[in-house]
Structure formats: C-alpha cells, structure tokens
Amino acid sequence: MVESKQQWKAWLYLAPAIILLLVFTVWPIINTVAMAFMEDYSGLASIGGEATFRFGFGNFTRVVQNAEFQQALTNTMILCLITVPVSTLLALLIAVALNAIKPLQKALQTIFFLPYVTNSIAIGMVFAAMFNVIGSVGTRRPLISSYGIVNDLIRMFGGNWVNWINSGSEYWANMFVMIVYIVWNALPFKILILLGGLAGINKQYYEAAKVDSTPRWRVLTRITVPLLSPMLAYVIITGFIAGFKEYTSIVGVFGESMGPVHEAHRLNTMVGLIYDSLASNNQGRASAAALILFMIILVVTLINLRVSKKRVHY
Amino acid sequence: MKIVLQNLTKIFPPRGKNTSGEVVAVNNFNFEIPDGKLIGLLGPSGCGKSTTLYMISGLQKPSSGKIFFGDDDVTELSTENRGIGLVFQNYALYPHLTVKQNILFPLQNLKGKDKLDKNTMLDRAYEAAKLVQIEQLLDRKPSELSGGQQQRVAIARALVKMPRVLLLDEPLSNLDARLRLQTREEIRRIQKETGITTVFVTHDQEEAMSISDLIVVMKSGVVQQIGQPQDVYDDPANLFVAKFLGTPPINVFSGRVSQGMLYIGTDAVMKVAGVADQEVTVGIRPEGFHLDPNGTLCCKPVNVEVMGRDVSIVSTHDASLNPFVRSIINADHRYDIGDSVRYTIKPHKIFLFGKESEERIRIEVNSDGRK
Amino acid sequence: MSQNTMQVMSAQNMRKTSTRQKITRVLSQTGVYAFLGLMAAVVLFPFYWMIISSLKSLAEYRLSPPTFWPTQVLISNYSEAFTTASLGMLFKNTMIVGIVSTLLSLVITIFTAFAFARLEFKGKELLFALLLATMMIPGELFTITNFATVTNLGWRNTYHVLIIPFLVSVFYIYLLRQNFMQIPNELYLAAKVDGTSDLKYLWKVMVPLSLPTLISITILKMMGAWNSYIWPRLVANDEAHRLITNGLRNAFTDTTGDVNYPVQMAAVALVSLPLFLVFVFLRKYIMSGVSRSGIKG
C-alpha cells in the first residue's frame, strides 16, 4: 500500500542475513558440488601450495565402491525402513487413543512429548546402560554380574538373555537397540503433529459415523486415517529425512566407535561416513558422499510426495 | 483548513502478468473542501473514494494533480508531515497496547521542537479521550472494547495530535445498525466541537446524507456530483446519482416525450415543458406518488407493506425497469389491494434522463415555482 | 395387534443393545487407557532408570535382579560427575554460545523477516523462494565447506566458530515472516500516519505482537546450542571451548562393559535437567514452535 521509494532500505535490513548466507550457505553449495567432482583434492591443503586435482567422477566411484559406504548405506536404509513405519504406526495409535479420552489427556500428552526435549547423546547413554551386560560376556561360559534391566525383564518373563551391545554381540541385536531408541525418540514429534491433525477434524464426521453405528476400527481406517492423511504424509516424509541423517543417536549408545567393542564402525551411517571422510581430510569424498545423501533424500521425498498425492485424500 | 484537490488523478499499473488495462482509480478530481466542514465521499466499492482519501492522507501518491492544505502544496509531502489524522475501517488499534498507550502513541513520535513532556502528553491524551467519552476505558486493551468503543479510541488517537485534517475510512461499516446511528451522531458532534475539516468515505448513502455538510458522489473514478445532501437528493445530476441516493431506491421507468407530454408505457403521465421529443428514462422517488382514482399512472398492485407511519405499495408496471414499483403513502387511510392502483406524480419528485447519456434532462419550471 | 407386539419386541431389543453398547464402551475405554498407560510407562522408563541409577552405589547397580529404588541414596555421584566431566566449564561455555548466538540470531531474523513481510523491493519473491529452497539441502553439505572456511579463517577453537555460521536460520525467518504477515497492514499505515519510523514500528508493534513466536525461536535456538554435537566436535573440541554434549561424550567414552554407570547417569541427569526445566515451564512455546517445524532442537 505504502509506496516505498527506498529500495536500499529493504536491502539494509536484509544485509546481515544475506552476507552470512552467502558465506555459509551459498558458497558451500557451490564449493561442495565442485569439490565432489575434483579428484585428489583437499580443501585444507590447497591454501598454501598449488592445488593438484582433476575433474571427474572419481570421488563418487570411490565412495560407492567403498565397503564402509555400502555398510553405512545398508545400516541407514534398514533404520529408515523399520523405524519410520513403526514409529508412525505407534504414534498414530497413541494419538488416536489420546484423542478418544478426556480425563488425564493433558497429563499423558505431556508425558508423550517428554522424549522430544532430550539430548540424544545423553539419553543414548541411558539406553546403553539399560541394555548393557556387566561381566565377561564374550567367553564360552560367561560370568555375569548384571544382565542389565532389559535382560532382567526378559528373564523375569522366562526368556533368555541377549547380548545386546557388548563385545561379541550380533549385528541384529545392535540394530534392535538402535531401532528401539530411535522409535522412542521419534514418537513425540509424530504424536504432536498427528494430535494437532486430529483436533482439526470436524467432530461431525464422528457423530455421523455414530449415527450409522460404524464400528471403531472402521471409523479409524475409513474416517480418521484418510482425513489425517496430509499429516501422516508430513510425518512420514520428515521421518525419512531424519532417518537418513541418523548419526548422533548411535554415538549416544555406542560412542564414537559406532559399533560394539569387537567391531567398531559396524553401525556407521551415511552422515557418520561423511564426517569420517572430513576428519581424515578427504573433502572430495565427503562432498561426494554428501551429494549422494542429498540425492537419496530428494528421491525418497519425491517418491513420498508422489505416493501421498495419490493417497492423501484431500 | 480548506483542502483543494486539483486535477487529482490516480492510475494503478496493470496487475500481475496480464498487462492489459491499467486502472484509473481517480480521474481528474477537482474540488475545494471548505474549512471546518464534514465531507462525505460516497460511491459504490471501486469508485475511487478510498483512493482519494489515501491520496489526501499521503499514503498514496497521485499520478498527477495537486493537493493543497490551505495554501500549502502538500502533494509531495510525506504522510507524517501533513498533520492529518486517519481512522481506519477496522480501526487499526495496536492490540498489545492499552487505550491510553494507543492514544499516546502518535504523541511519542513527535521529535525536536514538537517534542512534548510527559505530563503534556498525558493531558492531551486525556483531553482526546474525554472528547470521545472513553475516559473510563483508558486502561483497557482493545480486545476488551466493543466495536463502538474501539471506534472512539481510533478517533481519539487520530485527534490527539490536533491534526489539520481528519480522515475517516468507512467509519461505521463495522458497527451494528443501532450503534451506527449513535456513532454517526457522535462523529457529527465531535467534528462540530473541534471544527476540524473532516473527510469520510462511505458506500452507505444514508450515512453520508445524514451527517455530511457536503457529499461527493463518485463512480468509476469520476466525480458525479457535489453538493449539500438534500440538494443532491432533490436535484440529481444523472441517473446514477438518482439511483444511488435514497432508500427505498428510486423507481425507474422507460418513457417517451412526445409533444410536451411524458408517456410511461401507454400512460400519459404529465406535461413536461421545454423537453424535446425523445426516448427518456424516468425516475420517480417512492414518496413522489399520490393515490388518486383519476391518476395518470396505472400500476398493478402486488402487496402492501405496513411500515407504521407509512405504507409501501408494491406494484408492477410494464414500463418499469425494476421488477417492482414501490410507492410510499401516508398510512392515514387504509388501502386495500384492488386490481389496479392509480397515481398522480408530484412534479418535484420526477426526473427525466437521456436514454443513452443518462444525463439529467431538465423540465422547465413554471412561474409558480412548479415544474 | 401383531404390529403392536413387534414394536414392544423392538423396544426390548433396543434396551438390550443399549446395555451391550454401554458394556463395550466401558471395555474399550479401559483398553484405551491400558494401552496409553503401557506406552507412557515405556516412554518414561529411561528417565526413571536414569534417575534411580544415578542415586545407587556401584555395588547396588551391579545387583541382578536389580533394585527398583536405591536402598541407599547416594548424592555423591552427582558431585563426582560434576568434577569428572568438568560440567561447570562445559555449562559456562554452552551458555555463552547459546545466549550470544540466540540474541544475534533473533536480531537478524527479525530484520530479515520484516523486510520480507513489510517492505517492497525488486526480486523479493524470488529471493524468498531461493531461501526456502536451501531448507531442502541437508546440513552436512554445508558443513564440509564451512569446515574448510572456518579453518582457513583461523577460527578453529574459538567461540565465534560455534556462533557465526548458524546465525541465519531460514526456517526461523519463514516462521516469523508468516507471523508478521498476519499483522494487519492498517497498523503499519496508522503508524505511518503518526510519523512512526519503520524501525520504531518494528520494535514497538511487530515485535510485541510476535512475542510467542520469538519465544519459541529463542527456546529452540538455546536447545540447539545445548544439544549440538557434530559441529562443535569438528571445530572447537578443545578444553576452553568445548560444549556440554561433547564434554559428556568425551568424559564417558565407554558406554558398554563395566563402567561406573551411577556416575555416568548422574552426569546424564545433570545435562538433562535444564532441558526438563525448560520443558516444564515453557512447554507450550516448544510445542507450538515444533508443530510448525519438524526440526529437532
């Protein structure tokens, strides 16, 4: 409405943000993409001496052929493909249940949001403590002084204890611990979003369903889920993005070795790999790995959007 | 402070991608607003009345033309230096500030030699609040006020810096019917007390007519007529003005003048002196009908609406350009619907307009003061 | 006659169904509460375990089956944790970084959001779209080059390396711009009429009216500093500048085996405590910020 004659004034307000963005966002995009295609280039080495590199896909091929990368990709994929559906389903059930009750609703809602406000390293250490076995675990006749609370609970119900995270533990036992922790950590955000979505659904649909004496499960699958589909799509997409960037939760449970004592790096993820390359001063490979991660996230997001466009009901 | 608008024109550039058609919001507006008067800018939405108001305020710059406050050319002056008070349609009170803080806000902006000390500011704020009779509400937040009270606060905020000109944008449109009557009297009273030249914008003709010293009727950016409310009502310059003013609206017929006689359909309604033979559009105010068994205009009655003091007879006529002909008759005697109703027409309540031009065609007035 | 009987029958039937419905309702309601109760227990358990473990003696911690409440409450674990991890230093560093970066970030965010919400300039829409597009790119991609940049600038192991690269958050700008846009334009015009400068209008009207969003941003930003791990580990992992999360991880490198869990849990509890306090007192701001974001801390 007001006709401003002073364009420069707007740019003055924008200046701090733009300068910082140019240095720490725009330049990195250009540089990282360029570095990914520069073979044998180290960002740090190039300051003093002359740079020696040539352009090519070398970084990409070397990253992809690397066994550690393949392991990291597999780990990341497994974590995503299991934790996202499990946490979404659990969050949906909890949100619907919360929405169906009156007394205690607020209190329970608060409890379910609690894991959000945590430090993933710190709570990872708590999970480690819960699954940890104290004693000589790896030997043939283990001498155990404490099985850890999780194993104690299993034994209480007559099950056999499992070596979850200690030396000699199985890959899937490690994965199981990570899945439990990641799902636990992912629930609050999903519940919050889905509960918000449920609050937005017009009560009349449910009253109409009641008049037609629709059974509960049918109300859930035929009314709630379709009407909630935009929110579900949202939590699934953000869940996948977060899943592909999983790193600190594993550091929390297993430490920076990213695996049990006898097999470090077994649980490394894509992000972990990028930082490993960076720490070993291999910027080119880190860049290539980061670009691959970006492409994967992009593709998964696009697939998700395509699917949800068909499935999202309005 | 008189306000002079000289060839004021506002052209908006074409919007968006379809470059066709810039919009002429205000076209060559010339008017001298006399000092200390209350002026109503009246017209349907999109007629350019708000744009005119915003140009006077300085929030929008005219494409061409000049604006004078008194003898000062303020065309290039920015809003804050014009010394105006502006009341917005939705009041634009700062929701997080109390009434007092809202009224103080403009004073706190004064700089340099205009800067006031705290007590003077409070005195002035209190004075303004007293003028609009909200002094007991000073510590409330806008959300705790009714629409009418918010309106008063907005006026107080506009008045507190003692503006040279007060501008009101649709001041009554957000109020309910009862408050509207009350508030318009308030505005009139405040304007009279302060003597500030006041311009307000409205699409409601009743509102404009009831309190304005002068009304300006606008359509599509062009001024149609300027005058005292009663004059404009009694003597509309064209069909648009005639139709826009008056509730219920004027009845419109297609008619024909032949040898000094006005025909509506087949009815020879009355003699019209000095009008050449032509097709015309005829406007008759609802109060311009007189029940008369020997009347010249014959309509088919449909319904009688009782309004207390008056009755309104709804009827049809073949030449009517509206679906119904509505007449307002004194309710002194009862009226029963028959097959037809006959009227004579009060000569000063009938207007002729060119069929194409829609401009007024004047009927010569006889020596006895009648048309 | 027969019609009458039928009506009576159906009335009886209806009464029966209504009791049955009442029973199923009660049953299903119980089921819902049981499910929620179980899930709540699972969610709370790690916190419970953290707290009771942090109060046990090492000997008691090693007991199998475990005790579910410490037989002897040992507060000394906390003092030991505090010194072992030099939490005081870490706490101070984190607060410095958190407060400074939050304040600067707020100023930049407010200015930028204001320009995008209220001012007119060429290329506004395009610039804003580009800004939003950068949100799609994973942060790791920036980190690689930023690591080189700050190294070349000689910023390693300083406070500002922890602050400056993250001052601009496109998401916060977006959030605040949306909030600013909801403020009616008339308020801006009214302020103009009164001769209010843009800066004063921003400070006196827009900022107070957007306070909830600004509080949300503040909390999320502070939590971000508290929980940040990757970047500080890369660029400022020296004693003098180490942040709390890195300090915690560094002090207790072993997570498995026969480590002194009670002390470790005490340290974890101390690190978690400020987050809990923020959660307890400012929950609604976190929730409203988070529900619009999808980002963690």
**Count of pairs with CB atoms under 8 A, one residue in A, one in C:** 287
Q: Is residue A189, in this structure, part of any structural domain at all?
A: yes
pLDDT at A101: 87
Q: Is residue A209, in this structure, part of any structural domain at all?
A: yes
> For an interface test with C, which of B50, B61, B80 has the most C Cβ atoms less than 10 Å from its Cβ?
B80
Average pLDDT value over all residues in chain A: 85
Q: Is residue A201, in this structure, part of any structural domain at all?
A: yes
**Over residues C39-52, mean pLDDT:** 94
Q: Which residue has the higher pLDDT, A7 or B163?
A: B163
Who among B79, B96, B157 is closest to C192 (CB)? B79
Which string of DSSP letters, residue by residue, matches A220-264? Answer: IIIIIHHHHHHHHHHHHHHHHHHHHT--HHHHHHH-TT-S-TTST
**Over residues A110-119, mean pLDDT:** 90
Q: Which residue has the higher pLDDT, A142 or C172?
A: C172
**Which H or E run contains B284?**
strand B278-284
Residue of chain C whose alpha carbon sits nearest to that of B105 = C194
Same domain, B128 and B208: yes
Q: How far apart are the first and last CA of chain C?
A: 74
Alpha-carbon gap: B80 to the closest alpha carbon of chain A (Å): 12
Residue range(s) defining the domain that contains residue A81: 67-311
pLDDT digits (tens, 9 = 90+) for A120-141: 899 999 999 899 888 766 666 6
Who among C184, C204, C209 is closest to B92 (CB)? C184
Cα(C270)–Cα(C247) distance, integer angstroms:
12
The verdict on a CB contact (< 8 Å) between B80 and C209 is no
pLDDT at B20: 63
Who among B57, B90, B109 is closest to C196 (CB)? B109
pLDDT at B15: 66
Residue at a domain's end among B188, B205, B240:
B240
Q: Is residue B264, in this structure, part of any structural domain at all?
A: yes
Cα(A193)–Cα(A51) distance, integer angstroms:
49
Same domain, B122 and B184: yes
The verdict on a CB contact (< 8 Å) between A1 and B59 is yes
The verdict on a CB contact (< 8 Å) between C193 and B80 is yes
Alpha-carbon gap: C4 to the closest alpha carbon of chain A (Å): 26
The verdict on a CB contact (< 8 Å) between C187 and B96 is no
Cα(B313)–Cα(A33) distance, integer angstroms:
82
Residues in chain B: 371
pLDDT at B239: 94
pLDDT digits (tens, 9 = 90+) for A137-168: 666 666 777 788 888 888 888 888 888 888 88
pLDDT digits (tens, 9 = 90+) for A174-185: 999 999 999 999
Cα atoms in the 13 Å half-sphere on the side-chain side of C194: 31
Please determine, for residue A250, whether its predicted confidence score (pLDDT) is greater than 50: yes
Who among A129, A278, A293 is closest to C147 (CB)? A278
Using a CB-CB cut-off of 8 Å, the residues of chain A touching B61 are 3
CATH code at position B55: 3.40.50.300
Residue C295 — pLDDT band, cuts 50, 70, 90?
very low
Domain count, chain B: 2
pLDDT at B371: 45
Same domain, B328 and B219: no
Same domain, B143 and B278: no
Same domain, B117 and B46: yes
Cα(C182)–Cα(C191) distance, integer angstroms:
16
Residue C57 — pLDDT band, cuts 50, 70, 90?
confident
Domain count, chain A: 1
Q: Is residue A15, in this structure, part of any structural domain at all?
A: no
Average pLDDT value over all residues in chain C: 85
**Over residues A239-258, mean pLDDT:** 90
Residue at a domain's end among B178, B208, B240:
B240
The verdict on a CB contact (< 8 Å) between B59 and C192 is yes
On whether the CB atoms of residues B194 and B99 are closer than 8 A, the answer is no
Residues of B engaging C, defined by a Cβ cutoff of 8 Å: 57, 59, 79-81, 84-86, 88-92, 94-96, 105-106, 109-110, 157, 161
Q: Is residue B14, in this structure, part of any structural domain at all?
A: yes
Who among A7, A100, A114 is closest to C43 (CB)? A114
* DSSP, res B349: G
> For an interface test with B, which of C186, C187, C188, C194 has the most B Cβ atoms less than 10 Å from its Cβ?
C194
Cα(B62)–Cα(B41) distance, integer angstroms:
17
Cα(C232)–Cα(A12) distance, integer angstroms:
31
Alpha-carbon gap: B68 to the closest alpha carbon of chain A (Å): 20
Least confident of A45-49, A99-103, B100-104: A45-49
Same domain, B347 and B219: no
Three-state SS at A42: coil
Same domain, B280 and B258: yes
Sign (positive/negative) of CA torsion A145, A148, A151, A157?
positive
Cross-strand partners of B41? B201, B216
pLDDT at A18: 94
pLDDT at B17: 55
Q: Is residue A208, in this structure, part of any structural domain at all?
A: yes
Please determine, for residue C179, whether its predicted confidence score (pLDDT) is greater than 50: yes
Please determine, for residue A52, whether its predicted confidence score (pLDDT) is greater than 70: no
Same domain, B118 and B255: no
Residue C1 — pLDDT band, cuts 50, 70, 90?
very low
pLDDT digits (tens, 9 = 90+) for C77-123: 899 888 888 889 999 999 999 999 999 999 999 999 999 998 888 88
Q: Is residue B368, in this structure, part of any structural domain at all?
A: no
B66: tokens are 């000049």
Using a CB-CB cut-off of 8 Å, the residues of chain B touching C196 are 80, 105, 109
pLDDT at B337: 72
Q: Which chains touch A (3 or more CB pairs under 8 A)?
A: B, C
Cα(A290)–Cα(A272) distance, integer angstroms:
11
pLDDT at A295: 92
Sign (positive/negative) of CA torsion B226, B230, B233, B234?
negative
Same domain, B291 and B227: no
pLDDT at B291: 87
Please determine, for residue A273, whether its predicted confidence score (pLDDT) is greater than 50: yes
Same domain, B257 and B235: no
Q: Is residue B96, in this structure, part of any structural domain at all?
A: yes
Same domain, B207 and B266: no
Please determine, for residue A112, whether its predicted confidence score (pLDDT) is greater than 90: yes
Residues of A (45-84) whose Cβ lies below 8 Å from C: 47
Who among A47, A110, A255 is closest to C283 (CB)? A110
Alpha-carbon gap: B159 to the closest alpha carbon of chain C (Å): 11
CATH code at position A99: 1.10.3720.10
The verdict on a CB contact (< 8 Å) between A17 and C168 is yes
Interface ipTM: 0.87
| Cα Dmax for chain B | 78
Same domain, B236 and B255: no
Cα(B125)–Cα(C131) distance, integer angstroms:
45
Alpha helices (H) along chain C: 2-54, 58-61, 76-84, 87-118, 124-133, 139-152, 160-163, 170-181, 185-193, 198-201, 207-209, 211-227, 230-235, 244-251, 261-291
pTM score over 0.95: no
Residue at a domain's end among B219, B240, B261:
B240
- Exposure class string for A19-30: b at 16+ Cβ within 10 A, else e: ebbebbbeebee
pLDDT at B16: 58
Which string of DSSP letters, residue by residue, matches A168-209? Answer: T--HHHHHHHHHHHHHHHHHHHHHHHHHHHHHTS-HHHHHHH
The verdict on a CB contact (< 8 Å) between A134 and C173 is no
Alpha-carbon gap: C148 to the closest alpha carbon of chain A (Å): 6
Residue range(s) defining the domain that contains residue B302: 251-361
**CB-based contact, A267 to chain C, within 8 Å:** no
Q: Is residue A42, in this structure, part of any structural domain at all?
A: no
pLDDT digits (tens, 9 = 90+) for C127-157: 999 998 888 888 888 998 999 899 888 888 8
Cα(C226)–Cα(C245) distance, integer angstroms:
7
pLDDT in tens, chain B (371 residues): 889 999 999 998 876 555 567 888 899 999 999 999 999 999 998 888 999 999 999 888 899 999 999 888 999 888 888 889 999 888 889 998 999 999 999 888 887 777 888 999 999 999 999 988 898 999 999 999 988 899 999 999 999 988 989 999 988 888 888 888 888 888 899 899 889 999 999 998 888 888 899 999 999 889 999 999 999 999 999 999 999 998 889 999 999 998 889 999 888 888 888 888 999 999 999 999 988 888 889 999 988 888 888 888 999 999 999 999 999 988 776 677 778 889 999 989 999 999 988 999 988 765 444 44
